[in-house]
Structure 1
Amino acid sequence: MASQFGLLLRQWRQRAGLSQEALAQRAAVGIRTVRGLETGERTDPRMGTVRSLADALELTGAERAELFAAAGRDEPVVLEPVRFDPLAEAVETLKVAVEARWRREEEQGQIHDPVPLPVRWDAAPETLRDSWLNIGGEAALAGRLDQIVEVYRKVGSRRLVVLGRAGAGKTVLTTRFVLDLLGARDARDPVPVIFSLGSWHPERVGLRDWMAEQLTRDHPFLGAPGPSGGTLAAALVDAQRVLPVLDGFDEIAAGLHRPALNALNTTTLPLLLTSRVDEYRDAVEGTDVLTSAAAVMLADLTCDDLADYLPRTTRKDVWTLVLDEVRGGGVLAKVLTTPLMVALARRIYSDTPDHDPAELLRFHDAEEIERHLLGSFVPAVYGVEAERVQPWLGYLADHLTRLGTHDLAWWRFGTSSKVTGLSVGIAVGMADLVLEAAVLGMFTARGVSFAVMIGLVTGVLFGVAHRYVVRAAPLEPVRTRLRLRGRLGKRVWSRALLGLAFCGAVGGTYGLVQGISFWLAWPGWKMNTGVLADVVVFSLVFGLGGALVFGLVAAMETPLDVRSAGSPGDLLDANRRHVFGLAAVVVPAFALFVVAATQVGVVVLVALRFEVVWTPVSALALGLVGGVGGGLAYGLSLTAWGQWVLFARVWLPLTGRLPWRLPAFLDDAYRRGVLRRAGAVYQFRHARLQDHFARLP
């Protein structure tokens, strides 16, 4: 008698229009097996047999489960293989990094000490927003700081412009927006990231490419290759896994606001944009509103806001006279209407002993009060050290103003090719003199003259190279580390060709100087043929050695891993390690190659009947000088870390414009609230502070 399994098998086989032979062939089982199961002669089929029959009959869902149950088996759940999604992992890592960064910044800015200032806003004039049809439905946009995410989500297009005058609280709002959005974020939502628009040049680079560059700068691990070529940062931007919070539209260079607004209108990215009112209005009048974007306008603080906030910032009863003046509508009522000015007043008078805010009553002009608050900020936070640090802050502000940016990047403290060439010449000349003396065991007149000449020539060569490299593109920090294994590719070969050309030119010049130094030391030496031989041999030796080490380094470079944070100090440390790692690879490899290649050259020259004065010891000296000298020259002139050492740690402190312990000074200014961190760069706490210090003598 057929079993329940046999009856089901026959029923579904006949429904499929298959004979027993056809089913057996399709399931790759024996015909006797199929016949025995249907007739009941076989009642205990194996798990694999049942699965094969179910697959052959194309059973799914309940029918498949019924067949397995009839066989007295439960089909094991087949787990789909977990596919690694590099974008999903990058998104989660980026979320953690962004949240930690801006929570620290909010704490550093005393936003919640004792309570946040009541930042509020209303809908902006209709002329500054798109039509509600394009936005995606009319919505009430008025709100306060803790409602920013709620208001943003009312905007159907998810494109919102936040307008306000200087110091109105736009930066405070963007920070709170990011943190609140991350707190309520679904796993499928993009990560909100704040981008300071001041460094964007819309006529040179598109918005998406610029965003990818900024992400890589602040989060080096996003420089790793993405799933479809390019970088992880570019892939996140293209896949809209990043929500751009574009802070400071007004800080874009003068003349570029209209092109910037046009560029923003070519994208459909959801975004939040902040700007001062006048700059945004001018751009709108010259082009059009931001497509599909709603707009809100930050409101001034009221007298009640001040009365609720300022007395809570100190246990001293010192704000009564000031609040009475504000209630009376005096000049102070025009100044203490923005979070910036209120925060400055709080820092100067509530947080500092022996400062009475009643002194504000002696001023009768709003601009004069603002200058007083800005000028009193550093003395309040530094005390007796203010006179010493103020010129340094003034230099930093002037430096940023000349660069046209608000980003204080450690790799952009100097670009003078003259200073670079002079420093390279001195460093290489001294290295040559010391190394030759150490290897040969003595100082000689020829050695001194050769050190002077090679220092001069190398300084000129690398000074010129620095000038043209920096003119083409400013030096940027590396975002790679060196690993023991690498693979050959176009990048390796292109680097090798670059090393061959540049080091060959340096080697030819080196050979010329070497020949001249021999001629000066031994007047009987064959000047013409000897110099020619030196130029040819050194061009080949240095060129091939340069190709070797350039290609080797390219093969060993890999993006910084996820643990490499993007703070200024972390990125600086990573670059220092990279340069020292580079030297540890380049110097020995180049020196050994030069020693071996020089000995081959000696054999060839002797066979050609040239007079040769090189020995294995002099070849060793040559290799060390070439490796160490070349490493010093390259590191000081063509790496961001080398330029930092040269200018920020030596030249600018030597000329009195910055302190000798610059990293400690910047970190101290950050802890005191004068500077803030924005990823891998510092910024003044507010653009008004930078403008104030830039005007100081």
Structure 2
Amino acid sequence: MAERLGPVLRGLRNEAGLTQEELAHESGVSVSTIRRLETGRAHDHRLGTVNLLADALNASPEDRKRLVATLTNTRQRDAEPHPAQAPQQTPAQAPAPEAAPVAAPVERAEPAPARTPVPAPSPIRGELAVAAEDLAREVRRRLQREEEQRRVHDPFALPVRWLPAPERLMDHRANVERLVSGVVPAVSHIDAALDASPDLGGDLRGVADYYRSIRSGRLVILGRAGSGKSVLTMRLALGLLEPPGFPERVPVVFSLGSWDPTTTALRDWMVDLLLRDHPHLGGRVRSGVTLAAALVQADVILPVLDGFDEIAEGLRIQALQELNAELLPMVVTSRHAAFAEAAEAARSPLVLAAAIELADLTVDHVVDYLPRTARPAADRASGSPPLWHDVSKELRALETPAAVTLAAVLSTPLMVTLARTMYSDGPQRDPRELLDAERFPTAHALEEHLLAGFVPALYRPRPAERRTEAGARRRARCNWDAERAQRWLGYLAHHMGSGERDQQDLAWWRIGETLPLALRILAVTLASAGCVALPEWLFGLATSTSGIGWILLDGALMGSVNGAAMGALYAVLVAFGRETFEPSRVRLRIPRRRVDLRGGPVRVTVRRLGAVVVGGFLLGAGLDSAITLEHDLFHQGPFSPAAVAGTLVNLLGAGLIFAGVATMSFLAMAVLETPLDTAAAATPGGLLAANRAAVLQQFVILAPLIALGIAFGGFLVGDLLRPFFGPMEWALSIGLFVGSVAGPGGSSSFLLSFSAWGQWLVLSRFWLPLTGRLPWNTIAFLDDAYRRGVLRQTGAVYQFRHLRLQHHLSQAFREQHRRRYAPAHFAVHVEQPQDYNPLPRTPPSRQLP
């Protein structure tokens, strides 16, 4: 009888003495996959996965044959492979049936036109194929959760329609079709796709099929602000990730607003964001590069670049040129005006790309959608007509200027969503006030009204309900009133746009940067001083026979020296190096096998070894200087030449001790580092928790290493310096005392000053709430704002629901603090054509330009 994979794998794992978690760490295969394989619930496992497990188990040739035989038996028993799929293809190599390029729609008697081959992804296998499969699953899970959070399908998706963009904003049809020279497309794939969809989309799910019809795989999606481009990109990515199987390339949505093409290449920027949002891709392949870099280099990632218009205006031309230099398949979204201006200035649109433009919502769409979002129970109880009855009647007639203005405003999904939130989701407001022409004489005034009422509507008081004690405490922390919530959100929005360029990413590790540099340096200095002064006082009171006044003075002096040193180093790194302390994407774990020194954190730390040595030497010399100064002033009186010479020798010795201890500690940390699990940092809160755990682990390891290194390192340094400076004494009691203070004090001050979580704790968790700029539980406030719908989540960072909402909150914050801040200079997004026809009830003509 043929063996099954589950029992064979479980037996080999038990023989090797490994748990499922340990096998996952050694092989790179997720724990969930191993669990499904051993229980027999996985029927789609690949040969590459089995090979990874066999390598991690050090399987013999006979055991490998048994594993491969079980794989073959399982496929024959359970699988029905696609006819075009080879038995050993990896998920990234085997395109789903829907992802195959559409053949030319011509008669069978005519030969297919010759085309330039579309660049295919590099073949991948082994751990890279597993990483691509895990990434596809994780991207799909996150996008589905984001769709649910935005209520895209509640009660139904707004009908987003699109038209072909003007030909000046797309490449030649022959280039998009990848036809060779001399071949003229009679009927292009794009025309065929449009002919097959008379309503030009209508359903968001149709965008994936439309993209598959584009031979070059390059598409530009244009539209007005709030026209639904971001939601359309989510639906496109989800459509390409729909089972069965996985696409040839994994679509990943990137927000273009954070890209600076003058400093970072497109592929490098993509790698950075993949590492930020998917920390498990920080693992290294045999060549030494990260999994993220290997996937990008192999063209396995399909970049869905959302928000070309959010790039700084002066960088858009170069950004378009950089995109044209990369001929890989991609999707780019932008406002029409911003992309058209960049294309005209660069004298080229996005090469090899088709372009479509989102159309406005019609009156029929609006009057069908908004009434269905209202709750009919309240209307039946009060006997009044439906909530949107009068407004719908006025919109259908379009006989008054107020109705025409409202129809123009509700032509985008963004404004429809704001109107729904203010009126349908809460019984306090009457939508008939939207037809008040005196109050809202222009479309801009009406849009500002909807934007201004969005946050108060979401933070309206919740009805009392029966809760558990723990749930009541949790809700009490998140029950912020609308006024304070709007002030805190306005503070964040203002500082996100107060620099040289707008920032769309609201990252928890960058919130502290909203404070002036001087205040940040002061906060770091005080925190570092307290980290050393507190253990100095505790150990001094426990061990010293000196008076309490002397102990307090000693701790204050040592803490001040450490605080000044850390503050100065922080100022140098931030002010001159412009360094941002990024969150750690690793956890600490004792390796069970030999460490690969060819790549990974060890090699990275070795490259930084010079800075570690110099920093440790200066810190040790500075602390010894303080000790010597204190001792000479209060015990020996004035300095003598011999005392000066001895002091210099002591400085050298202390510097070497601290430099050696710092080097040893950081190399030990590098050996213990391993990438985070696949879903360990799927959210900003998850990344924060992972960083908090990593910092605490680092403290637990660094504190005793530094303490013991200082206590016993003095003997080694004394032996090294004895041939040059004569006999040197190092008392073990002094070494233990200094180590006991420097171990916890030095490690905690370093971690608070130069880690992302430390900066978050000092600045965002304490300083900003202390001054009233943010709530005490900032991460809970941001998470609550995301659940309410003010923020959206993009990987490990938050973003405001829409850039217009961010600008509105920023401007409102400045108006409340106009004495301190200059007026806002954000442009008003009114993007109506000159001959604007408000909300035609029938789709516009679908004539190609």
Normalised by the size of structure 2, how large is the TM-score? 0.70
Q: CA deviation at 1:89?
A: 0.5
Q: CA deviation at 1:375?
A: 0.6
Residues 274-423 of structure 1 aligned to structure 2 (within 5 Å): 274-287=333-346, 288-314=348-374, 315=376, 316=379, 317-327=386-396, 328=398, 329-362=403-436, 363-384=440-461, 385-403=481-499, 404-415=502-513, 416-423=520-527
What is the CA–CA distance in structure 2 between the aligned matches of 1:171 and 1:492, rounded to whole Å?
39
Query: SS of 1:331's equivalent?
Result: helix
**Which of 118, 141, 159 is equivalent to 1:100?**
141
Letter in 2 for 1:295: A
Q: Which runs of 5+ in 1 are unaligned?
A: 1-78
Q: CA deviation at 1:438?
A: 3.4
Q: CA deviation at 1:507?
A: 0.5
What is the CA–CA distance in structure 2 between the aligned matches of 1:214 and 1:552, rounded to whole Å?
28
* Residue pair 2:531, 2:746 contacting (<8 A) in 1 also: no
What is the CA–CA distance in structure 1 between the aligned matches of 2:317 and 2:596, rounded to whole Å?
46
Residues 419-430 of structure 1 aligned to structure 2 (within 5 Å): 419-430=523-534
Query: SS of 2:162's equivalent?
Result: strand
Where does residue 132 of structure 1 map in the other structure? 173
Q: CA deviation at 1:563?
A: 4.3
What is the CA–CA distance in structure 1 between the aligned matches of 2:293 and 2:762, rounded to whole Å?
33
Q: CA deviation at 1:387?
A: 1.1
Where does residue 61 of structure 1 map in the other structure? none
**Which of 554, 570, 578 is equivalent to 1:466?**
570
Q: 1:620 to 1:318 in 2, by over 3 A?
A: same
What is the CA–CA distance in structure 1 between the aligned matches of 2:623 and 2:263, rounded to whole Å?
40
* Residue pair 2:271, 2:293 contacting (<8 A) in 1 also: yes
Residues 431-580 of structure 1 aligned to structure 2 (within 5 Å): 431-440=535-544, 444-470=548-574, 471-485=577-591, 486=595, 490-524=603-637, 527-580=643-696
Residues 25-424 of structure 1 aligned to structure 2 (within 5 Å): 85-136=126-177, 138=188, 139-140=190-191, 141=194, 142-144=200-202, 145-183=204-242, 186-187=245-246, 189-287=248-346, 288-314=348-374, 315=376, 316=379, 317-327=386-396, 328=398, 329-362=403-436, 363-384=440-461, 385-403=481-499, 404-415=502-513, 416-424=520-528
What is the CA–CA distance in structure 2 between the aligned matches of 1:108 and 1:490, rounded to whole Å?
41
* Residue pair 2:532, 2:742 contacting (<8 A) in 1 also: no
* Residue pair 1:392, 1:658 contacting (<8 A) in 2 also: yes
Q: 1:80 to 1:400 in 2, by over 3 A?
A: closer
* Residue pair 1:495, 1:550 contacting (<8 A) in 2 also: no
Query: SS of 1:243's equivalent?
Result: strand
Q: Which runs of 5+ in 2 are unaligned?
A: 1-86, 91-123, 178-184, 195-199, 380-385, 462-480, 514-519, 817-849
Query: SS of 1:552's equivalent?
Result: helix
Residues 623-662 of structure 1 aligned to structure 2 (within 5 Å): 623-662=739-778
Letter in 1 for 2:227: A
What is the CA–CA distance in structure 1 between the aligned matches of 2:649 and 2:551, rounded to whole Å?
20
Where does residue 685 of structure 1 map in the other structure? 801
Q: CA deviation at 1:231?
A: 1.1
Q: CA deviation at 1:441?
A: 6.6
Q: 1:439 to 1:620 in 2, by over 3 A?
A: farther
Letter in 1 for 2:448: R
Q: CA deviation at 1:80?
A: 9.4
Query: SS of 1:389's equivalent?
Result: helix
Letter in 2 for 1:395: Y
Letter in 1 for 2:201: G
What is the CA–CA distance in structure 1 between the aligned matches of 2:482 and 2:410, rounded to whole Å?
25
Letter in 1 for 2:537: L
* Residue pair 2:138, 2:679 contacting (<8 A) in 1 also: no
CA deviations 1:214-239 (Å, max 9, x no partner) are: 11110001111134331111111121
Over aligned residue pairs, what C-alpha RMSD do you find?
A: 2.4
Task: Name the structure where helix makes up a greater proportion of residues.
Answer: 1
Query: SS of 1:473's equivalent?
Result: coil
What is the CA–CA distance in structure 1 between the aligned matches of 2:244 and 2:408, rounded to whole Å?
39
Q: 1:451 to 1:270 in 2, by over 3 A?
A: same
Q: 1:586 to 1:395 in 2, by over 3 A?
A: same
What is the CA–CA distance in structure 2 between the aligned matches of 1:184 and 1:536, rounded to whole Å?
65
Letter in 2 for 1:508: A
Query: SS of 1:651's equivalent?
Result: helix
Letter in 2 for 1:127: R
After TM superposition, the structure 1 stretch with the greater mean CA deviation from structure 2, 131-140 or 558-567, is 558-567
Q: CA deviation at 1:633?
A: 1.9
* Residue pair 2:240, 2:247 contacting (<8 A) in 1 also: no
Where does residue 382 of structure 2 map in the other structure? none
Normalised by the size of structure 1, how large is the TM-score? 0.84
What is the CA–CA distance in structure 2 between the aligned matches of 1:234 and 1:441, rounded to whole Å?
59
Kindly name which structure, 1 or 2, has the bigger radius of gyration based on alpha carbons.
1
Q: CA deviation at 1:524?
A: 4.7
What is the CA–CA distance in structure 1 between the aligned matches of 2:446 and 2:547, rounded to whole Å?
67
Q: CA deviation at 1:185?
A: 6.2
Q: CA deviation at 1:242?
A: 1.1
After TM superposition, the structure 1 stretch with the greater mean CA deviation from structure 2, 383-392 or 286-295, is 383-392
What is the CA–CA distance in structure 1 between the aligned matches of 2:165 and 2:344, rounded to whole Å?
15
Letter in 2 for 1:311: P
What is the CA–CA distance in structure 2 between the aligned matches of 1:555 and 1:234, rounded to whole Å?
22
Q: CA deviation at 1:295?
A: 0.7
Residues 601-640 of structure 1 aligned to structure 2 (within 5 Å): 615-640=731-756
